[in-house]
Amino acid sequence: MKRGSTLLIGFLTASASIVMLAPGCGSSDVSGFDNMVDEAGIPGPNPGGDFGDSGPRGGKPCTGLCQQQVRCDDGGDTTVSGIVYDPAGKVPLYNVVVYVPNAELGGIQTGASCDRCDPSLYSGNPLTGVQTDAKGQFKIPNMPVGKDIPLVIQIGKWRRTIKVPHVARCVDTPLPATETRLPRNQREGNIPLMAITTGGSDSMECLPLRMGIDISEYSIKGGPGRIHLYKGENDIEEDPSDNAYSTGKFVSSVAGGASFPASTELWNSTDRLKAYDMVILSCEGSPNPKSKPPEATKALYEYESIGGRVFASHWHEYFFRKGPEDVQKTGTWDEEAYEPTSDTYTAMGIVRTKNGDKDFPKGIAFADWLDNVKATNPRTQLSITEPRGVLTAVNASKAQEWITIPTYPRAPAVQFMSYNAPIGAADDKICGRAIFTDMHVSAGVPRGTPRDIVGEQGTQFPAGCKGYDPKDPEAVRKADLTPQEKALEFMLFDLASCVSSDDKPPPPPVIH
């Protein structure tokens, strides 16, 4: 475990508890935090705060908000609590860091960057903070007392800063859900720069809208928005009036009605890819190998290896099956796998909570989270509509299996797989991350929906997105996510978070 200038006192398991930070200045080895343990796992005393009335302890001067931390009687504490939600303010999020900065925040770099879970990720000289548990809950100990206390809410390059109007001494101050969500637009905070390609069998471009991101954040490459759209191959059927997917053009009222550039402009070049924090590839309906030459499969893995994040749906298995050797060996790929003929075909996916005889900490948290958001019943079983079976097994030495349908026809069907890049690198050398899904998780409105419901522009974006209403921009945000979309949302935020080994709980950030 790494150290900052003070001792990282301990952490609890990631699946069901809150992970805490050590106090930011003047610390001794005795903490006022609730439920603290030392590095040996032994509970320590709870005197109720190390700073404030009696001045700093230890060798580090107590400055700024440190001077507003106080000692409480009878083992009490000054805390702030709440739940962190997605931008829509509806779905609670796991593993989000919430902390009090004691200095000015630094900027967040746009583009591929090697963001391991180390002290450099959280700027502003964090004073105290926690990570959210599988219910999205947090309770920050040893809070500074007073008015307008700043609070940073951050996961990876998602970041929002709010002010707590008043923190009362030696009691808990609960925060309203309206304040503790991630940003919907750049005015509210930082959003990763994402490239999304459209597809004939999936419409991943619709999901950020349903997660709560404003339509104003959509544009094409070079545009001001934080989501840039690219047109995938084969992304409409023979009769575009009878399908739900994007024709590769905005409606005239969005982004000036611009057409999306081709997806090949994105993935044929590492230089183009590395401008983005995250790349999301919607299933195109077929592998389309002609649009994915060897230089493209190589570029995508190079992007991952320098810190890029990739989410690829179904037929983009081609990037894995035909990628560099290490990528090919992440799993067993079968392009001739059984495909259901019915759009309503469902099967039961099992959430993996163990790797062999060892616990899989993030898998346990994933199962708890899915249960909390009412996506599974029972806890480790997710009903999946339109699953596919291209990935039949995961190589555990190179990648991580998350959900699998063991009873899929002919062979098991892995629905979520991830790996850190470069594949096989030591924990202090990994930089990026990729996730593959074998299910269609974010389709638009159903095929055959009348135009007076879809809108005059039919399948142009965003008129083809489920729940979109040009007369009520909030409608798509208000609609509940499906269980599959909730599972995907968890995976997208895991993809965005700092990179660490999947064998361990997400490490708590070390204060400076």
The answer for residues whose C-beta is within 8 angstroms of residue 465's C-beta and 6 or more apart is 203, 205, 206, 209, 210, 444, 445, 476
Asked whether 375 and 429 are in contact (CB, 8 A), the reply is no
Q: Between these two residues, 93 and 453, which has the higher pLDDT value? A: 93
In a domain, 323, yes or no: no
Q: What is the pLDDT of residue 235?
A: 53
Q: Could you tell me the pLDDT band of residue 74, with boundaries at 50, 70 and 90?
A: confident
Q: Could you tell me the pLDDT band of residue 463, with boundaries at 50, 70 and 90?
A: confident
In a domain, 259, yes or no: no
With b meaning 16 or more CB within 10 Å and e meaning fewer, what string describes 370-404? bbbbebbeeebbbebbbbbbbbbbbbeebbbbbbb
Q: What is the pLDDT of residue 245?
A: 60
Residue ranges with strand state E in 132-261: 137-140, 146-155, 158-167, 172-174, 194-197, 218-219, 227-230
Q: What is the pLDDT of residue 339?
A: 87
pLDDT, tens only, 416-431: 999 999 999 999 999 9
Bridge pairing between strands 97-101 and 146-155? antiparallel
Q: Strand, coil or helix: what is 284? A: coil
pLDDT, tens only, 190-211: 999 999 999 878 889 999 999 9
Specify the DSSP class assigned to residue 190. B
Asked whether 159 and 108 are in contact (CB, 8 A), the reply is yes
The DSSP H or E segment spanning 310 is strand 309-313
Q: What is the pLDDT of residue 120?
A: 78
In a domain, 419, yes or no: no
In a domain, 114, yes or no: yes
The neighbouring-strand residues paired with 391 are: 333
Choose the weakest-confidence range: 184-198, 397-411, 474-488: 474-488
**Exposure of 146 by Cβ count < 10 A (0-12 exposed, 13-18 middle, 19+ buried)?**
middle
Q: Could you tell me the pLDDT band of residue 102, with boundaries at 50, 70 and 90?
A: very high
pLDDT, tens only, 264-282: 999 999 999 999 999 999 9
Q: What is the pLDDT of residue 54?
A: 33
CATH number at residue 159: 2.60.40.10
Domain count, the chain: 1
The neighbouring-strand residues paired with 309 are: 278, 433
Percentage of the chain lying above the pLDDT 70 cut: 81
In a domain, 54, yes or no: yes
Residue 462, preceding peptide bond in cis (omega within 30° of 0): yes
C-alpha to C-alpha distance for 215 and 154, rounded to whole angstroms: 22
Name the one residue in this structure whose structure tokens are 């799993």.
331
Q: Is the dihedral of CA 156, 162, 167, 171 positive or negative?
A: negative
In a domain, 287, yes or no: no
Query: How long, in residues, is the chain?
Result: 512
Longest distance between any two alpha carbons in the chain, whole Å: 75
Q: What is the pLDDT of residue 412?
A: 97
Statement: residue 103 has pLDDT above 60 = yes
Q: What's the pTM?
A: 0.86
In a domain, 490, yes or no: no
Q: What is the pLDDT of residue 409?
A: 93
Q: Between these two residues, 503 and 28, which has the higher pLDDT value? A: 503
Structure tokens at 446: 């159903």
In a domain, 145, yes or no: yes
pLDDT, tens only, 159-178: 999 999 999 999 999 999 99
Give the domain extent around 94: 19-174
